[in-house]
Structure 1
Amino acid sequence: MADTGWFGHPRGLSTLFFTEMWERFSYYGMRGFLILYATAAAASGGLGFDVRHGASIYKWYTSSVWLTPILGGFIADRFLGQYRSVLVGGVIIALGHFTLALKALPTFYAGLALIVVGTGLLKPNISAMVGSLYEQGDARRDAGFSLFYMGINIGAFLGITLAGWLAQKIDWHIGFAAAGVGMTLGLIQYVIGRQRLTPALARLAAPRRPPGGPGQLQQLSESLRGFSTEERNRIAAVFVFFLFAALFWGAYEQAGSTLNLFADRYTDLNVLGYLIPSSWLQSVQPIMVIALAPVLAWLWVRLGPREPSSPAKFAVGLLCAGIAFLLLVPAGLIAQSGVGVKVSPLWLVAAYIIEEIGELCLSPVGLSAVTKLAPARIVSLMMGVFFLSNWLGNLLAGWTAGFFSSMPLSRLFAAVAAVCLVAAAIMALLVKPVRSLMGDVR
């Protein structure tokens, strides 16, 4: 009998929901003010870097946290297992944030490096466990990922508002420490809720060979060569999703760089007489996911066999990203029309709302698709490969932010919109071929 103990889903989903919520509290809380801290004057406690230097640090940090998951997935699949990988990764992440709280440039770089390593162990494996809570063919899986994604965004909202306020209104380093406290809380409830994960861990452990011995590399090579034609086609579909997800993230992840600087320098932050921290505008994104994720989770289940396929949802996601940046073109023109001109924050609010509809059509759907398409013996490794789309997207977003001070903002926003809209059109044309590669997986 199916486990329906948590809102109609397996009880283990609650453990992973809150673990990921607190991990994302730490990540997005710190990311929300990272580029602002890097470019703030030394007199105000910042590092005093120029925009290009600050954007470069932001680019390499935010992209690297998505590069290491492929190694973390391999380590889990072949050595540690998913549960221990998440636990060790969370401990390293917490240490990284507490290291950032120390007021020295070497500890700043060391803290970022620790978070990169820890995220590599945690991120692919917690997603793999979510997928393994469900039996193959369980129609609740996409809805489960949408609920899981809501937990991510609850954490992001709390992190951006609390850590962002502490950083910008009190002290940058207190904001870093708050992120570390959040990760620690996540680890505590993860350990307490381990028993709820037993069915998922059993499913993940079944196809994994025990490590050890001089034949380890040979075993891995045989495993990789042993895929059937159907499995190879499904892996190819994952790589298609990877490419188009990278373009989406290249636009979306500018929330923490290009759009964060736009909010800080060109947006009127006076709301009802209170000057809000510029990082708070990023909280619109998680608020909309919190509001819309249950709606879409219900919709996918309600539609049943009429539910759009995963590649069709990807096309919608890219279309939304393109429309969001197209909307910002006139905002950029107004902001740079004269000295001291500030635009309404509603421009960014509207763009973020449109982007979030796109994100919900792409990100949780992509995570779910990977767990369904990847052969069970390399599911964490393939999850790591899919997360490389975030790595590439963050590189693109950080690279784009480097043009913030040298290119008219209207032209910058228009270029991003054009890339997303063209990608959406191509993805729409590829829906049928990709569905063919996916076989009977929707």
Structure 2
Amino acid sequence: MRKISHQKHNKETFYFSMSRMLERVSFYGLRALIVLYMTGEILRMDSNESTGIYSWFIGSILISQVVGALLGDLLIGNKKAIYIGGVIQAIGALSLCIPSIIGLYLGLFLIVVGGGLYTPNIISNFGKSYLNKPKLLDAGFTLFYLVVNFGSMLGLALIPLVVGQWGYQIGFALTGILMLLSLVPIRYTNKYDVKDFQRSISPIGRRILNIVIALLAVGLFWGTFEISNIRIYQIQIHLSEIPTLNITNLWWQTINSMSVTVFALIAIVLWTYVYNCQLFKLAIGFILGSIAFAILLLIPEVPTQQHAIIYLISLLLLSASEIHIAPIIHSILTKYSNPKYLATFISLAFLPTKLFAILFGMFNHKFVDQSILGLKIGMGVMIGIGFGLIVYLIYTRRINSSEE
């Protein structure tokens, strides 16, 4: 652990964060409306058809991000890709105002294309703004993660309220306007020349290995949540039904969101002034997660009021775990990959997470009646990865010492 000196965040951090937050308000607000809009009075789709379209919509975004990243890295530049993607996404949102099937498909298609250009390229340029001050990468991406979460929650809360008051057309129009507004702060950011960046001094084999380890670790982290969340949600439901506690299911979710925010703010401040390597942070995150799962195993099948504090402690530990893992993957990619292809690496980082989530999700039905088993498996995976990372760090430090 080393003190950070002569490095600080700049105005570009604010501009990128503001842009991303407004885009997330737009996207998540729109996403909250899609299925309701398709099954509502205008289009009158059945639930199976609407769910299928929604699934294709979400799945297509992952593919479009890879294409958009390649275009940004190799052809049009990352900053132009952000502008073009934002405009296309805004046109897509406005197309949804057309009350027809054509408007629906056109709007969803344009949102997928625009989001594919916008997302990996803004993350890439945000990372590049820190390449000459790499010790602040963790703090910077944690701030970025925080504004993404805040924008998502704001979109889910705000846009449906607007629709309830003024209808779907106004709601979709608002998401399009917010998307256009998200491009204004990008005007004040720089266009980056990769020749100006400090390169990592680590051997290329070590850099590739660090990236692969981080991708697999983060993917497994979210994968374990797929099977462990069943038990977590069951406990939450039981506790919300205890009248003497007077804590609803919504309140538990709010507490979880608030704890993520608090730990993110603490991490941002701490990691702005004190540096430790990213893989060590990942190891700490997995160890905290395994402790949280172990605590959850202390709660019986049907929890009582006395178990609420145990559940709360586990939520706090899981939030701390999330902050040590989720933002760090982009920090690692930015530090160890070639800046010229950073958006492409970032777009590919979404794939292991999605694949592990799908893979673990395939077994969810087996853990509905055996939810504690899912929790145990999740704890085992967390412990294995956490201590595996520590062993790898010890090994690499010995190698570095022998080379010196």
Scaled by the length of structure 2, what TM-score is found?
0.74
- Among 253, 268, 282, the alignment partner of 1:297 is 268
- Among 117, 125, 129, the alignment partner of 1:129 is 125
Counterparts of 1:89 and 1:98 in 2: how far apart (Å)?
A: 14
Aligned to 2:208: 235
Aligned to 2:380: 418
CA deviation profile, 1:45-98 (whole Å, cap 9, x unmatched): 995459xx96x8887665553444333221111112111222233344445556
- TM superposition shift of 1:247: 0.6
**Counterpart code for 1:428:** I
More divergent stretch after superposition (309-318 vs 108-117):
108-117
- TM superposition shift of 1:238: 0.9
Instruction: Say if 2:94 and 2:107, in contact at 8 Å, map to a contact too.
Output: yes
Q: Is 1:395 aligned with 2:385?
A: no
Aligned to 2:23: 23
Aligned to 1:210: none
Change (3 A) 1:353 1:264: closer
Instruction: Say if 1:241 and 1:366, in contact at 8 Å, map to a contact too.
Output: yes
Counterparts of 1:245 and 1:102 in 2: how far apart (Å)?
A: 40
Counterparts of 1:181 and 1:434 in 2: how far apart (Å)?
A: 51
Aligned to 1:13: 13
**Counterpart code for 1:333:** E
CA deviation profile, 1:223-247 (whole Å, cap 9, x unmatched): xxxx999234313321111111101
Instruction: Say if 1:16 and 1:190, in contact at 8 Å, map to a contact too.
Output: no
More divergent stretch after superposition (228-237 vs 148-157):
228-237
**Counterpart code for 2:213:** V
Change (3 A) 1:348 1:248: same
**Counterpart code for 2:351:** L
**Counterpart code for 2:15:** T
Counterparts of 1:279 and 1:179 in 2: how far apart (Å)?
A: 26
Instruction: Say if 1:249 and 1:393, in contact at 8 Å, map to a contact too.
Output: yes
- Among 189, 203, 211, the alignment partner of 1:197 is 189
**Counterpart code for 1:358:** S
Counterparts of 2:398 and 2:34 in 1: how far apart (Å)?
A: 43
- TM superposition shift of 1:388: 2.2
Which residues of 2 match residues 202-281 of structure 1 at below 5 A?
202-204=192-194, 230-252=203-225, 268=240
Instruction: Say if 2:19 and 2:184, in contact at 8 Å, map to a contact too.
Output: no
Aligned to 1:160: 156
Q: Is 1:357 aligned with 2:320?
A: yes
What are structure 2's unaligned runs of at least 5 residues?
A: none
Change (3 A) 1:239 1:47: farther
Change (3 A) 1:312 1:140: closer
**Counterpart code for 2:71:** I
Change (3 A) 1:15 1:46: farther
Change (3 A) 1:13 1:83: same
Instruction: Say if 1:18 and 1:186, in contact at 8 Å, map to a contact too.
Output: no
**Counterpart code for 2:262:** A
Q: Is 1:120 aligned with 2:93?
A: no
Instruction: Say if 1:318 and 1:420, in contact at 8 Å, map to a contact too.
Output: yes
RMSD (Å) for aligned C-alpha atoms = 5.0
**Counterpart code for 1:80:** I
**Counterpart code for 1:191:** V
- TM superposition shift of 1:155: 0.9
Counterparts of 2:274 and 2:183 in 1: how far apart (Å)?
A: 33
**Counterpart code for 1:184:** I
Instruction: Say if 2:160 and 2:171, in contact at 8 Å, map to a contact too.
Output: no
Counterparts of 1:34 and 1:376 in 2: how far apart (Å)?
A: 36
Change (3 A) 1:107 1:353: farther
What are structure 1's unaligned runs of at least 5 residues?
A: 208-226, 336-340
Counterparts of 1:378 and 1:407 in 2: how far apart (Å)?
A: 45
CA deviation profile, 1:291-324 (whole Å, cap 9, x unmatched): 22232122123334xx2x2111112222333444
Q: Is 1:385 aligned with 2:385?
A: no
Which residues of 2 match residues 179-198 of structure 1 at below 5 A?
181-182=174-175, 184-194=177-187, 196-198=188-190
- Among 149, 158, 171, the alignment partner of 2:145 is 149
- TM superposition shift of 1:344: 9.2
**Counterpart code for 1:23:** E
Identity of aligned pairs, percent?
A: 22
More divergent stretch after superposition (280-289 vs 354-363):
280-289
Aligned to 1:83: 79
Counterparts of 2:115 and 2:94 in 1: how far apart (Å)?
A: 15
Change (3 A) 1:71 1:409: same
CA deviation profile, 1:226-280 (whole Å, cap 9, x unmatched): x99923431332111111110112244789x85897599766379999997x677
**Counterpart code for 2:124:** A
Counterparts of 1:164 and 1:331 in 2: how far apart (Å)?
A: 36
Scaled by the length of structure 1, what TM-score is found?
0.69
- TM superposition shift of 1:131: 1.7
Q: Is 1:287 aligned with 2:277?
A: no
- Among 62, 65, 68, the alignment partner of 1:72 is 68
Counterparts of 1:401 and 1:112 in 2: how far apart (Å)?
A: 29
Change (3 A) 1:413 1:81: same
The DSSP-based 3-state class of the residue aligned with 1:333 is coil
Change (3 A) 1:190 1:108: closer
Counterparts of 1:331 and 1:103 in 2: how far apart (Å)?
A: 50
Counterparts of 2:98 and 2:152 in 1: how far apart (Å)?
A: 23
Change (3 A) 1:97 1:348: farther
